[in-house]
Amino acid sequence: MVGIFNELQARGLIAQSTNMERVEELLNGDKPVTFYIGFDATADSLHVGHFLQLTVMRRLQQAGHRPIALLGGGTTLVGDPTGKTDMRKMLTKEEIAHNVERFQQQMSKFVDFTDGRALVLNNADWLCKLNYLDFLRDVGVYFTVNKMLTAECFKSRMEKGLSFIEFNYMIMQSYDFLHMYDAVGCTMELGGDDQWANILGGVDLIRRVKREEAYGMTFTLLTTKEGKKMGKTESGAVWLDPEKTSPYEFFQYWRNIDDADVINCMKMLTFMPLEEIAQYEALQDREINRAKEKLAFELTKLVHSEEDAQKALEASKALFAAGSASEHMPTTPLDQSLVQDGSVGLLDLMVMAGLTPSKGEARRLVQQGGVSVGEEKIADAQHRVSLDAFKDGFIIIKKGKKTFHKITL
């Protein structure tokens, strides 16, 4: 029987690890390991980037280990500078508390939190109670500025300016690990590969304070073959909340990814056996569309439901076959305030429907010939759609070859 560490490795999920031989031994062993992954509550929904982390938690839990989902009620007040060119937006305590509650609800779909099989903790419970001077003396003394500045998350911000509040983030995350090591026996921290420096900080802090070894491991970031982060569309992030990204739109995101990324996403995100994935890996040319449909179906089933996945699949097949309307197509009612003299601007409609984040981007797409209303391709960015065009109470805007959106009166 293949151990869980080997399974993660075979799926291309493992990026780096401290003391890899020992981590492999622990994860493949019979004794449960308590590990944690942190989630800063910067929005009111989890997104595709978080989903990869949730699948790792689920895989390890199924192998007998105990996950901790650490919600960053405290660290979100500071903001992680990792991967950001500018300081993150400062949220209020009330906004963060709301986001934490939403995260917890969504996570319960992927990880079993019953009977102590997994824990949900909020670092606000201990970080917000810290005395700053005591914290500096007891924890800050173990960190050198020189070493911290070598971390990529700080180096990339030095030119534009790194605020002092953000500089504290690594120390706070490291303290989280130390606190949970003492409180609940957490001995391993996992996270995306961009968290490597922060994870090393926690491992080193435990070694210095407790004179004992803890472990850290990062998993591969979800990126395209070109190295760009996945989970973004022209209208924003791909959310797990069906109110923010509908099951159909979620399905379509995966159905439309590049051919070169399909198998990698199957391995990293689905629970399909590797032997089954290998069969899809052999597909070529137009046949790869079967793999895309399978990927989109499996992920929509995981995040939403099998019923939603089936509906999205049927709608997708109808659209790809005939470019026609479907009851499951994403739909937006017309904002009547946009109507002037019996018509509405196409650019306004596109932004209203979330097809583009701005009128500037909508204008570019129209001018490049990538937008149709019904069967008519529109090349004029000043085009206005008459209310008379809503013959059956709706119109369909097509963006590119694969994105359809219904606007209803």
Token pair belonging to 53:
């982390």
Catalytic residue among 9, 16, 34, 84: 84
Active-site residue, from 138, 194, 241, 259: 194
**Is-catalytic flag, 194?**
yes
**89 in active site:** no
42 is catalytic: yes
Q: Which one from 9, 34, 104, 233 is the annotated catalytic residue?
A: 233
Q: Is 34 a catalytic residue?
A: no
Q: Which of 9, 16, 34, 42 is catalytic?
A: 42
**Catalytic residue, candidates 11, 18, 40, 50:** 50
Kindly name the residue from 59, 98, 117, 232 that is annotated as catalytic: 232
**Active-site residue identified among 47, 179, 398, 399:** 47
Q: Could you say which of 9, 34, 88, 241 is catalytic?
A: 88
| Start-to-end CA span in the chain (Å) | 58
Q: Which of 59, 98, 117, 229 is catalytic?
A: 229
229: annotated active-site residue: yes
Question: What residues are labeled active site?
Answer: 42, 47, 50, 84, 88, 173, 194, 229, 232-233
